[in-house]
Amino acid sequence: MASVDHTVWQQDDVDPAGVEQAMRALERERFLRREQALPARALNLVTVVEAAYAGEIARRLEATGANAPSRSILLRVDPGRTRLAARVTLAGDGTSAMHELVTFDIGRRHLDRLESIVDPVVMTDVPTLLWSPHQIDGALDALLPLAQTVMLDSSDAGDPAEGLDAALALQERHDVSIVDLSWLRTLPWRQRLASAFAEPHRRGRLDDVREVEVRHQPGSAAAAWLLLGWLADRLGWRPAAEPGVALDARGGRVALRPVEADAGVTGLAGATVRGTDGASFALDRNPGGLRGRDRPAPGDAEQERSWTIMGASRGEAGVLSAGLRRTLVPDDGYRAALAGARRLLTEPA
């Protein structure tokens, strides 16, 4: 494997314009030293974190590997800091485009001028993704003028209604796209559920669904409700007068059951769709992927089947990688699923 070559610059008590000048000087130096070491130009990622947890966030980003942003701008907030410090690292192995990491150490007093700090070092000709995993007050609003997309995790709020409300409010206040990590954790489940009913002779079973149980890790209820919101949007369900119940297109009752279960990882543990005749289809986490189980109705001549769907689980590194890639593609149904989930949670018919 080719070794990674780094070029580093850092300075305390610096201004943003000085950081931009230093970056240009580093790029010139690397170009003169190695002509093929050109900077990548695909995505800015601006991340605002509490300084005490910056290492954890940096490790999560490093785990994305080849999906790492072209230019990462990391703002580490230390409440006691009064002066701005910066570090710039250009890294490449000589065989591919180099990636850039710009780290600012800032204090609370700098939060009201974050835009002026970040603006000089953002590449203006590529998309910008904004992420504030610790939900630092004022950080998102200050930086939104520079971004086209915001990455969040609706499960961070603890209460699913609060997390979904925050995502909805962000969409209503600002003209930005949302990348929700809770939504991305449902992707393998959505794909497998859709494929399970894709064949023409099985599609009719969707009209007779009477219960959907979604098992989720404690703290990941938002992901369960997003999956239910997606089903409601695709199948034309609407809220019923009682909590935890939807009405299908013909007015039939569909019980919605988010259930806590220890999945061992953030996200979903399983999902079961049951029909009026007692037939069911279930997905559960399994080593190496997901386990599918199809149970016929009582008295049906068909036999129960089970199988393993290999490679369905991507882990948190895979979820974050998907979040970075999602910035570059259109909405994949999240808005409709989010609105549907919120209605199911609170709006009686």
Q: How many helices (H) and strands (E) does the chain have?
A: 11, 16
Report how far residue 115's alpha carbon sits from residue 118's, in angstroms, rounded to the nearest whole number. 5
Q: What is the edge-to-edge ordering of all strands in the sheet holding 177-180?
A: 5-12, 85-92, 99-106, 71-77, 44-50, 128-131, 149-152, 177-180
Model pLDDT, residue 1: 39
Closest CA to 4 of 88, 93, 95: 93
Residue 13 buriedness (CB in 10 A; 0-12 / 13-18 / 19+): exposed
In sequence order, what E strands does the chain have? 5-12, 44-50, 71-77, 85-92, 99-106, 128-131, 149-152, 177-180, 209-216, 238-239, 245-247, 253-260, 268-275, 280-286, 289-295, 305-310
Q: What is the pLDDT along the chain (349 residues), one digit of tens a residue?
A: 344 567 889 999 999 999 999 988 888 877 776 655 567 778 999 999 999 999 999 889 888 877 788 899 999 999 999 999 999 988 876 556 678 899 999 999 999 999 999 999 999 889 999 999 988 888 999 999 999 999 999 999 889 999 999 999 998 888 889 999 999 999 999 999 999 999 888 888 999 999 999 999 999 999 999 999 999 999 999 999 888 999 999 999 999 999 999 988 999 999 999 999 999 999 999 887 899 999 998 888 788 999 988 766 668 888 888 888 877 665 779 999 999 999 998 765 4
Buried b (16+ CB within 10 A) or exposed e, 65-80: eebbbbbbbbbbbbee
What would be the CATH architecture of the domain defined by 185-346?
2-Layer Sandwich (3.30)
118 in Cβ contact with 105 (< 8 Å): no
Q: Which residue has the tokens 């890790």?
A: 217
pTM score, whole prediction: 0.90
Phi, psi of 58, rounded to the nearest 5 degrees = -60, -40
| Domain chopping of the chain, boundaries | 5-147, 185-346
236: left (phi over 0), alpha (psi -120 to 50) or beta: left
